């Protein structure tokens, strides 16, 4: 119960939970599971348990508020009108109908659909094997493509969208439904088949032909869609996703497309933009290609003969009506036969900017949505959110000046899984990213991530500006244009108005404003990363620190904004031994030296003052002995008793004591080295704090000091 008038209704197969509040039905949950009988039947056809589930492939809102939901339903495509919301509070659901032709049998085969008024347009396969694929309008009668290789050649459907070209159209033209897909090329004379990207279009009012092309499109034409990369020798990139950025003037609407390589020899993905006006010009003025047989082979060449009137594939316009043709059923067979046999146009639709807006190496780009944002100065900028195969979402901005820059990249799932769906809610400012395991909601105005004025300005994020009153990076949504307390510099990235930042402590952010590159420097030289120096995220890790590692370390970031390089010292540290360690080292060294001196002094004293006395034996020849001068001993008498010091004894004592001295000094050095090693080795320290924000590296007197004894 909610305010006494909310009640929960349960409906089975599918189960719908609906809360009635003031006559409005709020849909909470829907369960639509495959029955045991359907699951068994699916497996009997050679499919596995994963394939025999029910995968929702179409979800469209009808004009009366109902939702058309279609699923693969264990290789038995089925649709349900799940819910009807009316002011009377009535709930209707579960009107099942055939889903063949609206969604594929195979849940892993690409398909797409769009609701145009009360009619569903779908591009999908219509048979169990998935070999017959069509573009179909589910009307009465249904209109679809011809089952011809020249119309669709092993296509992979990407997107359907409608452009209201009848609005304010002086030519009296019709609305168009555009289909984007890839297929095997027919027009290239190559030994191997290659795929190309296509755009096809049909007219909303197409009723098919009277005799030729009955219940088939009479307005179906297709052209190549190319996103060329200069100096890139690989095969054409293949379209993966498309987004229509609509404008009040449909002529200014733009399709943004993501392309990825079709071979493993290239890792270059691109984003290109195509204007609706340029696509329409190709379809209305482009030359046709026609098949010719040469040496039992069919080749496609440019049609140089006369074209039927009215122009094949044309919609109903004022010029066509002047010929007495009110709808497609009145078209002459000659025009219909021409478009049936040669729906392909020569050349390719050129990108709006002449080339890619964005080039990306590495992870493949997969999906895209685009938002139109008014900046603080009133300029309109286009913000692209791009999903990748590695599970990240890139935020790129196409500025009014024309340049396009990736300003942010975020990993939205804990595991690296491809982003398959992106949906943007401009009204709520939320982006929804979907993968095979879940959905994540992401705010598009994440201005709080820019922690300083410098970051806020250099990010060049159209959603955000520096609020001088709050001293914070804030959203520009609903702010008056030219507000004095908000500052942006999207064109020039001019951060000169930012105040000189004070010193503060902070952790480095993984993704900086412009995906800045981070590097560490030691003694003003770039630090060469090797076994003992490692990067953990953006922190520096030193393993088994030595005395030679003492010194000044700086963390610097480098980012390019508007062709200028900005270098900032993000953090500075001074690594030095502790006082205790220095005193200990000095004491050990001093004691070692004193010990050596004492031993040496002892050796010298023993040589000068001590002697070994040998009694002289009668008749012993002492010619080889050193004898003392009798005059050296006062009051001595000359006799036969001599004081004799043998050189062998002196050398033995001196050698022993010198050896002891040397060993003592060596022992002292070893003790000093061991103490230093005990203090420095087998330690791991991490640079963490002391962020200093500068426009360029400077010597700061307030560097963070890290003592080796503290780590």
Which CATH number covers residue 469? Answer: 3.30.1680.10
In a domain, 86, yes or no: yes
In a domain, 589, yes or no: yes
pLDDT number for residue 530: 65
d(C-alpha 591, C-alpha 569), whole Å: 44
The whole domain housing 178 covers 163-362
Q: In terms of residues, how long is the chain?
A: 711
pLDDT number for residue 373: 93
Whether residues 590 and 601 share a domain: the answer is yes
In a domain, 201, yes or no: yes
Whether residues 462 and 477 share a domain: the answer is yes
**Closest by Cα among 185, 122, 114 to 155:** 185
Whether residues 421 and 377 share a domain: the answer is yes
CB 356 within 8 A of CB 230: no
Q: Which long-range contacts (CB under 8 A, 24 or more apart) does 585-591 make?
A: 585/672, 585/675, 585/676, 588/668, 588/671, 588/672, 588/675, 589/668, 589/672, 591/668
| Tally of structural domains, the chain | 4
Whether residues 375 and 350 share a domain: the answer is no
CB 112 within 8 A of CB 123: yes
Whether residues 167 and 309 share a domain: the answer is yes
Whether residues 49 and 84 share a domain: the answer is yes
Whether residues 352 and 215 share a domain: the answer is yes
**Closest by Cα among 197, 178, 187 to 238:** 197
Whether residues 356 and 210 share a domain: the answer is yes
pLDDT number for residue 526: 84
Asked which of 483, 499, 515 is the last residue of a domain, the reply is: 499
Q: 361-387 burial by CB neighbour count: b if 16+ within 10 A, else e? A: eebbbbbbbbbebebbbebebbbbbbb
Mean pLDDT by 10 residues, the chain (711 residues): 27 36 44 88 94 92 85 94 58 72 95 94 95 95 94 96 96 97 89 90 96 96 91 84 96 96 87 96 95 84 93 95 95 96 94 92 92 90 95 92 89 89 91 91 91 90 91 82 78 82 36 61 77 64 71 79 70 67 60 67 53 42 38 38 40 57 65 52 37 37 50 46
pLDDT number for residue 680: 42
In a domain, 157, yes or no: no
pLDDT number for residue 49: 92
Read off the tokens for 364.
């493949």
pLDDT number for residue 297: 81
Backbone angles phi, psi at 650, to 5 degrees: -65, -45
Whether residues 203 and 104 share a domain: the answer is no
In a domain, 105, yes or no: yes
What separation in angstroms does the CA of 699 have from each of 379, 523, 527, 553, 572? Answer: 40, 11, 17, 11, 9
pLDDT number for residue 632: 38
Whether residues 476 and 466 share a domain: the answer is yes
Whether residues 247 and 354 share a domain: the answer is yes
Read off the tokens for 471.
């001293």
Whether residues 124 and 62 share a domain: the answer is yes
């Amino acid at each position: 119960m909610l305010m006494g008038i909310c009640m929960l209704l349960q409906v089975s197969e599918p189960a719908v939970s609906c809360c009635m509040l003031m006559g409005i039905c709020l849909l909470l949950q829907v369960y639509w599971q495959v029955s045991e009988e359907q699951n068994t039947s699916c497996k009997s056809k050679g499919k596995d348990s994963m394939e025999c589930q029910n995968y929702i492939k179409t979800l469209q809102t009808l004009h009366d508020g109902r939702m058309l939901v279609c699923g693969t339903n264990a290789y038995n495509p089925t649709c349900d009108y799940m819910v009807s919301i009316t002011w009377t509070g009535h709930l209707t659901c579960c009107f099942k109908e055939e889903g063949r032709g609206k969604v594929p049998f195979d849940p892993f085969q690409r398909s797409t659909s769009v609701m145009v008024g009360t009619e569903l347009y779908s591009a999908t396969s219509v048979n169990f094997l998935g070999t017959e694929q069509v573009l179909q309008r589910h009307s009465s009668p249904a209109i679809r493509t011809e089952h011809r290789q020249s119309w669709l050649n092993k296509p992979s459907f990407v997107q359907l969208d409608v452009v209201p070209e009848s609005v304010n159209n002086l030519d009296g033209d019709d609305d168009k439904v555009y289909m984007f897909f890839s297929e095997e090329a027919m027009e290239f004379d190559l030994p191997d088949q290659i795929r190309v990207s296509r755009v096809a279009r049909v007219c909303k009012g197409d009723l098919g032909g009277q005799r030729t092309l009955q219940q088939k499109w009479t307005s179906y034409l297709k052209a190549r869609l190319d996103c060329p990369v200069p100096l890139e020798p690989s095969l054409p990139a293949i379209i993966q996703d498309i987004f229509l950025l609509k404008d009040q003037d449909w002529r200014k609407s733009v399709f943004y497309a993501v392309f990825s390589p079709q071979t493993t020899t290239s890792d270059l993905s691109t984003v290109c933009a195509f204007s609706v006006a340029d696509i329409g010009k190709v379809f209305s003025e482009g030359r046709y290609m026609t098949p010719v047989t040469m040496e039992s082979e069919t080749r496609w060449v440019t049609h140089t003969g006369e074209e039927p009137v009215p122009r094949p594939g044309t919609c109903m316009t004022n010029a066509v009506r002047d010929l007495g043709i009110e709808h497609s059923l009145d078209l002459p067979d000659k025009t219909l036969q021409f478009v049936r046999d040669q729906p392909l146009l020569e050349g390719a639709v050129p990108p709006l900017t002449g080339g890619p807006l964005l080039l990306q190496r590495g992870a493949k780009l997969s999906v895209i949505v685009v938002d139109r944002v008014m900046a603080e100065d009133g300029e309109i900028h286009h913000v692209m959110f791009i999903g990748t195969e590695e599970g990240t979402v890139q935020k790129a901005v196409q500025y009014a000046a024309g340049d396009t820059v990736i300003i942010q990249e975020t990993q939205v799932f804990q595991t690296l899984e491809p982003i398959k769906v992106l949906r943007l809610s401009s009204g709520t400012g939320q982006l929804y990213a979907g993968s095979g395991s879940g959905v994540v909601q992401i705010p598009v105005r994440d201005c709080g991530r820019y922690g300083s004025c410098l970051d806020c300005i250099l990010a060049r994020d159209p959603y955000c500006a520096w609020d001088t009153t709050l001293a914070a990076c804030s959203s520009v949504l609903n702010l008056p244009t030219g507000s004095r307390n908000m500052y942006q510099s999207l064109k020039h990235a001019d951060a000169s108005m930012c105040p000189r930042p004070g010193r503060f402590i902070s952790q480095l952010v993984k993704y900086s404003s412009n995906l800045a590159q981070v590097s560490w420097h030691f003694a003003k030289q770039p630090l060469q990363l090797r076994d003992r120096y490692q990067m953990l995220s953006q922190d520096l890790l030193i393993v088994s620190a030595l005395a030679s590692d003492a010194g000044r370390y700086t963390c610097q970031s480098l980012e390019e904004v508007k062709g200028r390089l900005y270098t900032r010292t993000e953090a500075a540290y001074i690594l030095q031994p502790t006082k205790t360690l220095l005193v200990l080292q000095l004491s050990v060294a001093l004691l070692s030296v004193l010990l050596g001196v004492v031993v040496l002094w002892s050796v010298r004293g023993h040589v000068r003052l001590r002697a070994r006395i040998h009694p002289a034996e009668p008749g012993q020849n002492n010619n080889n002995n050193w004898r003392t001068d009798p005059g050296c001993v006062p009051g001595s008498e000359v006799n036969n008793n001599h004081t004799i010091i043998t050189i062998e004894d002196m050398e033995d004592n001196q050698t022993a004591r010198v050896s002891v001295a040397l060993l003592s000094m060596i022992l002292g050095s070893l003790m000093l080295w061991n103490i230093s090693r005990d203090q420095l080795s087998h330690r791991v320290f991490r640079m963490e704090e002391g962020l200093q924000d500068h426009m360029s590296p400077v010597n700061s007197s307030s560097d963070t000091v890290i003592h080796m004894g503290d780590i």
